[in-house]
């Protein structure tokens, strides 16, 4: 079976690896460079603390791959687990935390519900008086998306897969026994169109193009409710002494988050009103807004006393989330031989390994993936059976 994957980010390459590992012929077409889209601008978070079972299950199924990545793929992804600390300012959010922890622990995640003073065990300068509850999980952590891309890509090539960069998919048409894909590429000299007008006949297509997935699916006349949304990250030098092993901390009611980075720096982010508009994925500002960074740092300081007036903003960037109306991915064979793995709403990197296995099942008609992704079908948006992710960050 020949499968063409559109998108050379971490999700597309994880799908390619899972398919090649099961014996499929694989071609990956990436319009830019591998990991050059949303993957290359991701914060690298990996967590089990979600509010829906399918997201928790995708995380739990993916973590063993991250744990063994260096041994299996020969690439160090700098995987470490300082945990995630979620914070609630309101009783309503605290009630949701209690429900979340019950569901997460039933699924097998080591989540704990904490009072604010207990949370200071993990974040000593937490402004505990501002909060009413917290949750923490030792299973949560971070890794390097760039290195993960290289590891998956190397494994796909080793398995005989064909990875084409600077190769855009320009047409998708149905055939009786599969799909005809038109591509336009560049040769090594960078001349556009040298490999243009090429068509590739395949048995199945996987759309894993992140924020560009809606554009790709439209070539086949398929409408995906995925909005490219601009999100930002700032790198700062904290005023206070933020411990290197501090958890990735999320103030859920304000949308602020932060975590330690290297050499005394920290990453600060968050989604605030009007700070993450829908954009054209081909024309968006990739730089960080200084005013946004100032607000993000102030919000972080409202959470924990590490980001006072002497905090220095060093740099930052903006990237794209591919957001669906219910903040859950679409992982579904939406037409015969046409599979979508997109719309992860910021969670694509961490869920990539399990998603790859689920996509391989959909393409090959197998049942090897341990996660039931049926709730992530495209038709949920028509049937009204959408999901609700409370822990959006």
Average pLDDT of adjacent 10-residue blocks, the chain of 393 residues:
98 98 98 93 94 98 98 97 98 97 98 98 97 98 97 98 97 96 74 63 98 97 96 95 96 95 92 70 92 95 96 95 96 98 96 98 96 97 86 65
Is 3.90.230.10 the CATH classification of the domain at 82-139+227-323?
Answer: no
Beta strands 266-270; 2-6: pairing state: unpaired
Give me the pLDDT at residue 102, please: 98
* 2-45+145-226+326-383: CATH, from 2.60.40.1730, 3.50.50.60, 3.40.50.2000, 3.40.50.1000: 3.50.50.60
Q: How far apart are CA 122 and CA 106, in angstroms?
A: 24
Residues of the chain with CATH 3.30.9.10: 82-139+227-323
In this structure, the strands spanning 178-185 and 2-6 are unpaired
Pairing mode, if any, of strands 204-207 and 338-342? parallel
* CATH 3.50.50.60-classified regions of the chain: 2-45+145-226+326-383
**How far apart (Å, rounded) are the C-alpha atoms in residues 206 and 358?**
12
DSSP letter assigned to residue 246: P
């Amino acid at each position: 079976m020949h499968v063409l994957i559109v998108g050379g980010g971490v999700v597309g390459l994880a799908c390619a690896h899972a398919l090649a590992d099961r014996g499929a012929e694989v071609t990956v077409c990436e319009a830019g460079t591998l990991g050059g889209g949303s993957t290359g601008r991701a914060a690298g978070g990996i967590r089990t603390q979600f509010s829906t079972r399918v997201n928790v299950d995708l995380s739990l199924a993916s973590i063993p791959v991250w744990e063994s990545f260096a041994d299996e793929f020969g690439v160090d992804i700098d995987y470490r687990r300082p945990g995630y600390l979620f914070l609630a300012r309101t009783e309503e959010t605290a009630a949701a935390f209690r429900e979340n922890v019950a569901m997460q622990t039933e699924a097998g995640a080591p989540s704990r519900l904490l009072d604010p003073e207990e949370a200071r065990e993990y974040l000593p300068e937490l402004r505990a008086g501002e909060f009413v509850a917290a949750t923490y999980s030792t299973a949560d952590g971070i890794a390097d998306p760039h290195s993960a891309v290289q590891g998956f890509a190397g494994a796909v090539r080793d398995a005989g897969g064909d990875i084409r960069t600077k190769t855009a998919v320009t047409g998708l048409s149905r055939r009786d026994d599969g799909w005809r894909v038109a591509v336009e590429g560049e040769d090594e000299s960078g001349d556009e169109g040298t490999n243009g007008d090429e068509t590739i006949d395949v048995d199945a297509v996987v759309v894993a193009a992140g924020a560009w997935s809606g554009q790709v699916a439209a070539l086949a006349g398929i409408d995906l409710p995925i909005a490219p949304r601009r999100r930002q990250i700032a790198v700062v030098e904290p005023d206070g002494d933020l411990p290197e092993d501090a958890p990735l901390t999320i103030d859920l009611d304000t949308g602020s988050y932060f975590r330690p980075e290297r050499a005394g720096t920290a990453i600060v982010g968050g989604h605030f009103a009007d700070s993450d508009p829908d954009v054209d994925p081909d024309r968006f500002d990739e730089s960080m807004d200084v005013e946004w960074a100032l607000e993000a740092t102030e919000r972080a300081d409202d959470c924990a006393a590490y980001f006072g007036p002497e905090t220095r903003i060093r740099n930052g960037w903006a990237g794209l989330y591919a957001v669906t109306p219910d903040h859950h991915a679409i992982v579904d064979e939406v037409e015969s031989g046409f599979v979508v793995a997109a719309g992860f709403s910021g969670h694509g990197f961490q869920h990539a390994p399990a998603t790859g296995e689920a996509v391989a099942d959909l393409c090959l008609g197998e049942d090897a993936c341990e996660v039931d992704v049926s709730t992530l079908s495209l038709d949920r948006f028509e049937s009204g059976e959408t999901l609700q992710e409370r822990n959006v960050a």
